[in-house]
Structure 1
Amino acid sequence: MALARETSGAIDGPAQGPSLFLQLCDLIGAGVVRVDGDGRAWPLNDSGRVLLEALGGDAGGAAPAAIGALLADGEAPRGGETVAHTPESRHIAIAAGRAEGESLVLLRDKTDERLLHERVLQSEKMASVGQLVSGVAHELNNPLTGVMGFAQLLLARELDETVRGHVQTIYGEAERAAKIVQNLLSFARRRKPTKEMADLNALVQRVLELRSYDLTVRNISLDMTLDTRMPRVWVDPDQVQQVLFNVIKNAEQAMIDGHNGGKLTVVTQGTAAGVRVSIADDGPGIPPEIQRRIFDPFFTTKDAGQGTGLGLTICYGIIDEHGGRIWTENRPEGGA
């Protein structure tokens, strides 16, 4: 435990074992932290400092709860994983062991690994389901076209009001089914985006203008903050608007179901990697068991007949095709 007694990564002599060990840890992004007998955390390398801060700690301060929980289980080395929100979710693996009244903690950011794994799983799901729904949709399209056509022929005739009402119901339901089939085909085909340089702020404003009447009627206020210095981006404007429209409608529905109104917060921000759009509501939030499945094909929490469960799946496919990332997380103050 000689390493655990060092309180800084600046160990004299590049040939010394502890110093070389800390340098190697930095190269692979592994953080090393010492926790003293008083429960204070001391990062021993740069990665340790960064990951300690991500967990909500700082040098010389109390060890974060995620570390403290592992150390409280006894002296035997233990491992675990936690999620830090800084400001987006980061998955951090923790290994800790105790000896001679002090503890040594290793931290590693596994966010990229988790994201890659999730994207591979989601791509496999979408590919297999896409093949299935493409065949089913084509088989359904032909009889639906016949039902709608003959219903229109009947409506063109002289009918009493009761019969006309029944036929209109048949036509309306067949038309709704045809729209569902079109959604299935849109999901299965995954057309390539037609990209151009676009102002993301303008796309956000355009979608919110389309939703402004519904927001007002549903007693939903809007808080919009746009980064005017954000660069233009290489996207398919129609597809990006489709994503924004779907996500905003989901946020509206969550607030209506939660408390018949609320506050929609939309923020755009330029980042080192590109641009980010955050769409937040103050509804009830997303239960963990639902959050894991929210982008799965045909998964919906709506009542039967109210949705196909493909809206967010299509959004995921569009953003993935653009080389981006879409995710959900619950807000500490409530909502998602």
Structure 2
Amino acid sequence: MPVPQPSPLHHLPVGALEGMDEATWLDVIHKMDEVYSKLVTDEIELEEKNAQLEQSQQFIFSLLSAMSDVLIACNQNGMIEETNAALCELVGLSEQALRGTPVLGLLADEQSVQRWQLAMYQSASHDAAVVEINLRSASGEVVAVDFNCTPRHNSAGRQVGRVLVGRPLGELKRAYQQLRQAHEALKNAQAQLLHSEKMASLGRLVAGVAHELNNPISFVLGNVHVLQRYGARLSRYLQALHQLDLPAPVQALRAELRIDHLVGDLPSLMAGTLEGAQRTTDIVNGLKRFATAAHEDVTQVELNAVVERAMLWVKKGTSPRFEMVWTRGPDCFVTGNAGQLLQVVMNLIQNASDAASTDDATAPQLRISLQQDGGQVRLRFADNGPGIAPEHLSRVFDPFFTTKSVGKGTGLGLSISYGLVEQHGGQLSAANLPQGGAVFTLTLPMPKA
């Protein structure tokens, strides 16, 4: 800021000019001091306004540089007056090279020229216009840009040009595609969560039904055991009675009612009833273990029995064409939760059935093998389906990931199985077979001797 200097008139002696008295001279000096002081004040204000103007220009420049959208400001004749870094990067020219050149020079084809001319006409009579034009990029490629063309006015309200702000449609399409994919994923996740909740409710229902079935099954087992004892007594009584000399009508009634045949059939009938009731009890207990797997204690589990039970249960709900090839091996015990291991094996068998059944021309097949290797046991589930797409191999165990349609898969089976296997200290992996099809390998540690 300049420091005010004394007026040069202060160095002149009073009365140096002829015809002027001292009062007049002092008044002139006073007026000159006021004018000089005003000039200094105006200069200070001008410098402050210049500083503010520079700050505003720097702010506007930073905004233009930070914009990811393409910006073009042109006059009424379509000559470029201002641009931003996004446009310079897109067309491969500097701001200095673009200023004063026509917008038409950036267009890539005649169709874009016509659209630009129509937008210029529309923006002259309306507030704004939207135009899609093709620009020539720095690499020579054609880039479609969706521009919003807005008229630009001066301080008097007169239109002096136009401002175009737009974004390459490739970015917009990618953003829309990502948004659409996210929306579809959200809808699928919602449907899968609803289905998962239904399955959880079904699990609670199964647990309750299994518990209620225990009572009538217990009645059947208890009554059949009593009937066996009663039958043995009746058989002894009838044998003793038939040794007597019975009247002819009684002998005829004995033959008509086939009493001897009925007595002979009673033991097998009751044995069959006991076997059916016992099988029902095993199924109910298995349902209870499956529905309340999280609350089961860790025990020694025989894997052959787990595989066979899972095959039995899944077979009831799969296609009759689905073939499971399994050869029972030597007893193989692991430490774990029987219900959880059953859930894992059932999921793997069901997934193999779904995958192998997609091709109607080939009979679906699953080969299950068990191999003990040192301190580990490996269960392999190899199907003859189409296999797993390479881009999906790294995601098959992700929660909610599924290639099935909504309602046919929750995307949680393999994810839950993966977590359960990890809780048992094992590993679950997926791969494709060279001859086609997928193979899932379940590895579990065996208890130390």
* Structure number with bigger Rg: 2
When the two structures are superposed, what TM-score results if normalisation uses the length of structure 2? 0.33
Point out the structure with the larger helix share.
2
When the two structures are superposed, what TM-score results if normalisation uses the length of structure 1? 0.43
Higher relative contact order (CA 8 A, sep 6+): 1
